[in-house]
A and B are shown apart, each in its own frame.
Chain A
Amino acid sequence: MYAAALARRYLFARWIHLVGILGIAVGVLALVVVLSVMNGFIQETRRMARGSLADIIVTPRPREGERIGPYADYEKVLRSTPGVAGCAPRFLHVALISVGRSTNFMRTSAALGARNAAQLIGLDPEAEAGVTNLAVALSNPPLDRTQGDSRVADPAHPFAPPLDVLSPEDREAPPRAVVVGEQLYRNLRLHRGQTIDLATATWTASGNRVRPINRHFAVAGTFRTGEYEYDLSTILLPREVLAREFLEGEEDFSEIVVRLEDPSRGAEVVREIERRLAAAELPGTFVEDGLGGRSEFLYVETWEERKRILLGAIDNEKRIMAVILFFIVIVAAFLLFALLSTTVKEKTRDIGILMALGAARGGILGVFLALGLTITLLGEALGLAGGLAVALNLPAIEQWLKHHLGLEIFRADIYIFDRLPCEVDVTGVVLILAFTLTAGFLASLIPAWIASRKHPVVSLRYE
């Protein structure tokens, strides 16, 4: 076809066509970059949630007067379930933190956005190995070194007393140690070896009253998962310490994290675990309807179900951003439409000439369609190249903007991560390119069709 050859000549004959190329390039670039960031958010959230939660979380829900435990009974059932690679017990509790002699911690906590409240997680470091990424979180280098290296001395034994930093009198009878999330550590301006008070409440032995408990601990060091909220609100301590000191040893765990051999079989294994725990008639695993349906008392869920609101929110945001940004492409398509319409007008006499030489309507349509598609494809190529260049170098670009222009694009206290995640999604990029090509095609089709419907003689007379 001569259409492509003529379209190529026309493309370079009018420099204004460059505007169309740039318009499409800007749309594609914005889409590639923003959707890469949103995709990065999702992927990073998944990685972190899976890292700290493992694949499946089992949370027995005891009925009134029932107590769950011992853990060993549950462990036996879980380890015999096919598909389970490992499991670890955890004890979750909530505490208020008091640092130093300050008595107004309850008041300041509200002013500071409840940062004096912490999620206590009691765990067994040995059991966590191979199930969660605790070891990684303990050895991640600190993000901010202004408070020195705050990591624990030995990641294999995180709750060992920090003898290297304790005062001589504390060294004689070291207090029990806790590991604090790095963001919380920075927020409260803690230092290793410092003593903090954790205050909480529990039931009285008779079980009908709430009673306050208060213990003090030494800060052994910090961990960093990279999930900002988690690192801002979590304190880790040995499971048996939490059970004994705060809950008087009545129960020894509150949930179990389970690692699977094949994470994609999560839903299947969840059902199998439910069935087996119910069959073993362990406390808190009572299945209400007795027909194998899900019980309201037993909660076995995958990490994705646990994090579904967050994951759903980010995914929803990604969709909204995609819709908004696709409008850029649509605007670029309108630009292309306007450009091609003026080109068709300007080339009216050429259209008459081509018709006089025997061009059929399809041929004329082809010339301007080829022109529009060439502009679209060049814009896509440019936008893709630029978008990938930005997306792949985003952390460096963000740092540069921060240092040289004082523009802080990414704020860790607003988002959930301590750095800007970015991951190019190939399927997404293909969809962007396909959508843009479709928009470019439709925008070109109308002017091209108008060109093809022109009357040869009227076109030849056009001045």
Chain B
Amino acid sequence: MSEPPLLEVRDLRKSYRVGGREIEVLRGIDLALARGEMAALLGASGAGKSTLLHCLGLLDVPSAGSVRLRGVDASSLSFAQRARTRNREIGFVFQFYHLIPELDALENTLLPRWIGPGAGPRRSSWEERDRAGALLGRLGLGDRLLHRPAQLSGGERQRVAIARALFAEPEIVLCDEPTGNLDSRTGSEIVDLLLALNRESGKTFVIATHNPELARRCPRRVRIEDGKILDGARVGGDPGPGHAG
């Protein structure tokens, strides 16, 4: 093992206080992800999948244990540094799309670049707009660029969300139930899309899902139950970036 894994989690614990009672959601997770991997995060509702994704995405701070991105411990970063890291390195896709309703598809896609340092809506160059347009076009939304989320179907919205997650070219894309709110046919299309993107871009995907099709087609499956990993952790093992078709 010459270089550290892209994302590595050791003895991750996370608990919340609800009504004076301590609820432990994650109870010691160990996980390592290599560049280009595509992992499905499986488990029942409430097993801690979303919490793990939030910790992996530096959105939430663990109660104990460490999250290391390229060997850097996230707990050593300030809020602003974590925000910058999210902006550059991590893309999110949510179950309920989470697009900004006041922005059209193109603007939602450009949003990570707007937020990024030294950029803004005025300074988003034509080149960037072209690039965002092309990305949306590749996701089948070429004629929907100026539509607002309310004018788009669920599948279309999720594709805009995927475009947004990919646009800043992050190393890691974290998806929380990306097909959970879609009918099975649209869900299938999204699964195809995610697999194809992983293959083409070589980016690391972590997908929390209940969708059996998605789980079956992912090269790696990590099962989580009761805040612990049941199988598929492969800590410190050989990353093996191969995929099944």
Partners in one complex: yes
Interface residues of A (CB under 8 A from B): 1-2, 5-6, 9-10, 13, 349-350, 352-363, 456-457, 460
| Distance in Å: Cβ of B182 to nearest Cβ of chain A | 19
| Distance in Å: Cβ of A347 to nearest Cβ of chain B | 9
> Which of B54, B60, B99, B121 is within 8 Å of A2, CB to CB?
B121
Flag if A2 contacts B111 (CB, 8 Å): yes
B244 within 8 A of A: no
A457, B204: Cα distance in complex, Å: 22
Flag if B60 contacts A456 (CB, 8 Å): yes
> Which of A2, A5, A9, A355 is within 8 Å of B83, CB to CB?
A355
| Distance in Å: Cβ of B50 to nearest Cβ of chain A | 9
A146, B94: Cα distance in complex, Å: 82
Flag if B120 contacts A6 (CB, 8 Å): no
Known A357-B111, A358-B112; further 12 A-B contacts with Cβ < 8 A: A353-B98, A356-B98, A357-B86, A357-B92, A357-B115, A358-B83, A358-B84, A359-B83, A360-B79, A361-B83, A362-B80, A457-B54
Flag if B94 contacts A1 (CB, 8 Å): no
> Which of A352, A358, A456, A457 is within 8 Å of B115, CB to CB?
A358
Q: Given the complex, which residues of A lie within 8 Å of B57, measured CB to CB?
A: 356
Flag if A457 contacts B59 (CB, 8 Å): yes
Flag if B102 contacts A9 (CB, 8 Å): yes
Interface residues of B (CB under 8 A from A): 54, 57, 59-60, 79-80, 83-88, 92, 94, 98-103, 111-112, 114-116, 120-122, 164
Q: Given the complex, which residues of B lie within 8 Å of A6, measured CB to CB?
A: 100, 102-103
Q: Is the interface of A mostly helix, strand, loop or mixed?
A: helix
Q: Given the complex, which residues of A lie within 8 Å of B164, measured CB to CB?
A: 357
Q: Given the complex, which residues of A lie within 8 Å of B59, measured CB to CB?
A: 355-356, 456-457, 460
> Which of B88, B100, B115 is within 8 Å of A363, CB to CB?
B115
Flag if B100 contacts A5 (CB, 8 Å): no
Flag if A1 contacts B86 (CB, 8 Å): no
A369, B60: Cα distance in complex, Å: 25
A354, B116: Cα distance in complex, Å: 11
Flag if A357 contacts B79 (CB, 8 Å): no
Q: Given the complex, which residues of A lie within 8 Å of B60, measured CB to CB?
A: 456-457
Q: Given the complex, which residues of A lie within 8 Å of B94, measured CB to CB?
A: 460
Residue of A nearest to B97 (CB): A353
Flag if B87 contacts A13 (CB, 8 Å): no
Q: Given the complex, which residues of A lie within 8 Å of B112, measured CB to CB?
A: 357-358
Residue of B nearest to A12 (CB): B102
